[in-house]
Amino acid sequence: MIYAYDQLIPHKIIDIAKNMALAARTAPKARGTDNLEILIATNSELKKLAECMQQISERDKVAFFTRDAENVLQSSAVLLIGTRYKALGLKNCGWCGWQTCQEKEKHPEHPCAYNLTDLGIAIGSAVSMAADYRIDNRIMFSIGKAALELKWFSNDVKAAFGIPLSATNKNPFFDRKPI
């Protein structure tokens, strides 16, 4: 059997996105507590994501959301990683701004410092997997914000990032026009 490059790539990128999700899931987490939620968007969901990003761009007057929306449309898949804001029950930490985890829990819209640290480590593990496969990618806040507004994550996920994936002759996520 003979396979053409264009036939293989979309399926292979989805497989790599799954590997990236595994890398994010197995990344080290504080106290072994997993507050992450991981999703993969493909096909028509990419168009919905880009449309939401465009709406945010116009509503909030943030031009880079339009540029990033174009990048989503140039991708074969987007890995989405978000975190819940839950205290870990540590003693005498205070990194969140409150003295105790019990005090922090009275402020559910405020993250535990470890939630965001674990999110960053998971994203780093995911993009290192993409690098192993030489898949073009870029970590984007704008994608995560749109996914949150679309309510793709469960309600308790409060922060998210997206990682668009592409395998073309030119990296669309870095070789792009400035705003």
Tens digit of pLDDT for each residue in 136-150?
A: 999 999 999 999 999
Class of residue 84 by CB neighbours under 10 A (exposed 0-12, middle 13-18, buried 19+): buried
- Tokens matching residue 144: 């995560």
pLDDT reading at 129 higher than 90: yes
The confidence score (pLDDT) of residue 174 equals 83
Tens digit of pLDDT for each residue in 2-15?
A: 878 877 788 899 99
- Minimum mean pLDDT among 32-41, 55-64, 119-128, 168-177: which range? 168-177
> Whole-model pTM?
0.93
Kind of pairing between the strands at 157-166 and 77-84: antiparallel
The confidence score (pLDDT) of residue 11 equals 86
Which domains does the chain possess?
5-166 (3.40.109.10)
pLDDT reading at 176 higher than 90: no
